[in-house]
Chains A and B, each alone.
Chain A
Amino acid sequence: MSQSNTRQNPAFYALIAVLVIMAIGPVLLMFVNSFKLDVDIISGTSGLLFLPTIQNYEKALCDVLWYEPSHVEFCSLKFGGAFINSLIIALVSTVLTLIIGCMAAYALVRFRFMGRDTVSMSTLMVRMVPPAVLLVPVFGLWNNEFCLDKEGLIGGFIRDTMGGRGDVCLAGTHSGIILIYVAMNLPFVIWILQSFIVQIPRSLEEAARVDGAGPFQVFFKVVLPLIKPGLAAAAIFTFRIAWNEYLLASALSDRDTKTVPILIVNNMSEFNVEWGVIMATGMLLAIPPIIFTLFASRQIITGMTAGAVKG
């Protein structure tokens, strides 16, 4: 509707202001509170009149700080370690999903031995499966079946070098969590990338092949550079899910492979809630998605509409 010539009603701008406040208000509130002492949060000196402090962040990050903050007596929160775990898991699963998904999408489009219908159907079917449904089988399989015998060659080697007892299982390792994230995200990534690959003219690839490029060269040198926007959208969605997921990670991780969401939930359910520190950890977890949103919102919207409207 082009009504740009008519002046907009002031009430209209008021409405937009209200919407913006509603959308980002809670996030801003968390941001502000993460710089407050617990006393200030509870006593109700609300508003912006307070002395900002980074104590909460120091407390949260105490295990990776290079100095010892004077107000932290005992570093109970292993946030830094969890943050690194989260980063490893999210980055590796994003990269793997993109590579594998890209290859699969290319094969499906160019060699068409399964119709687009099959792909869109399986995408939708997997989208339908809630993580909670995967909880039981993944817990059972990763702990009991996907194991290497400790007497065996590789399992024995791992036990000898890393220590520990029992068979070597996927549960409790980074790779165990990464595997399920890759599997969960693959159909969606294949679906999005497929819709981008379809738009590449075939003649371009044939020209490259005439010039003597093999199928792999065509893929890496011709196709990949052309689907960068699709790759960006797919990467953001995969990263977001791997970064934010709680349930499956909590079933599969052990003490050393905890991710940030698990840490936050564990901290929440304790009796005495330290709001300041919790808000600081929440803010740290929210920062990467916020950055993505601010810098790549166009790709996100592309991915969302491609994933929903055409799916």
Chain B
Amino acid sequence: MRPALANRLTPYMFLAPAAVIMAIALLYPLGYMIWGSFRDWSPSQTIGEAEFVGFKNYITLWNDPNFRESLGVTLKFAFFVVTFEMIIGVGLALLLDRDLRGMSLLRTLFILPMMIAPVVVGLMWRYMYHPTVGTYNRLLDWLGLPTVDWLGQHALMSIIIADIWQWTPFIFILSLAALQSLPRSALEAARIDGATGWQQIIHIKLPLMMPVLIVTALLRLIDAFKVLEVILVMTEGGPGLSTEILALRISRTATEFRELGVAAAMSNYLLILLLGLTVAMFAFNRLQEIRAARVRAAVEEDE
């Protein structure tokens, strides 16, 4: 082969494996799912044998009270999880942003919950929430307080607490990184002007961190729709439908009820929801860049 031709082909050769794998294992399945969502499809059939039913699966789902409840649970879960995690995570970052010895050890310990398998996190919390054996009820009992039916009546709250435990460190670490890259001069100036700690936080730190915080929150929101294993192990979606988030319902529709078409349609609803969020995030990023560029231009004009 002539060297010039080899050079021209190199990038394609480097890129080809990744492109092929993503095409057959991500794009093709997604298209397959959209196609399958218009069919009455059971696991024993191939997709060609399944009957075409148009939008029936989508309409059935839309009118299905169970699906709506599951959607409601998912939205509630995502909302509370992200809200509490942002408040606690950012709060801790503001509090711990100082020269501490052992800060890196602290961060190491904090990321531990995120690295452990969701299945294991689920089983730890299922043990701790156990009505008689569990740590919490034993503690309450020891203190002479009435015990709480964690995974029964308060199941949704309990899974929210477990998720907060697992993912607050993510927010904490990202906002700490954002805090430590803030321009020193602005903070210095504020301190010289006599701003109190609270004033510094509200008027300087938080506004400067805001872009990173919003991206972090959106990332966490997208991830909150993916949580499945922790809930599966802790409650299996019960009692009733009280903790059956959409991801769990999709997997149950596919494996237990054996209705692949309906499960595919449900997956599509979830995907559309997440697509909306992602587009919002992109739009926000773009807006931020445009604003930054405009500020830069204005500064240059002044000079």
Contact = CB atoms under 8 A, between A and B. Distances in A.
B11 A101 contact: no
A305 interface: yes
A84 interface: no
B116 A27 contact: yes
Nearest to A27: B112
Contacts of B46: 140, 144-145
B92 to A, nearest CB: 7
B89 to A, nearest CB: 12
Nearest to B225: A130
A33 B115 CA distance: 20
Given A215-B10, A290-B112, A136 B138 contact: no
B292 interface: no
Q: Is chain B's binding surface mostly helix, strand, loop or mixed?
A: helix
B270 A305 contact: no
A87 interface: no
Contact of B113 (A23, A121, A136, A144): A23
B174 interface: yes
Interface stretch (B58-66, B143-151, B275-283): B275-283
A29 B123 contact: no
Which bucket holds chain B's interface residue count? 35 or more
A141 B26 CA distance: 11
B232 A101 contact: no
Nearest to A43: B133
B124 interface: yes
B99 A23 contact: no
Nearest to A132: B247
B115 A261 contact: no
Interface string B20-44: 0110111011101100100001010
B133 A41 contact: yes
Which of A23, A126, A190, A311 has the most chain B CB atoms inside 10 A of its CB? A23
Interface of A: 1-4, 8, 15-16, 19-20, 22-24, 26-27, 29-30, 33, 41-42, 44, 46, 100-101, 103-104, 106-108, 110-111, 113, 121, 124-141, 144-146, 179-180, 182-184, 186-187, 190, 214-215, 219, 240, 243-244, 246-247, 251, 261, 264-265, 268-269, 275, 278-279, 282, 285-286, 289-290, 292-294, 297-298, 300-301, 304-305, 308-309, 311
Rank and list the top 6 A-B pairs by shortest CB-CB distance, nearest first: A183-B25, A132-B247, A107-B14, A137-B29, A244-B117, A104-B18
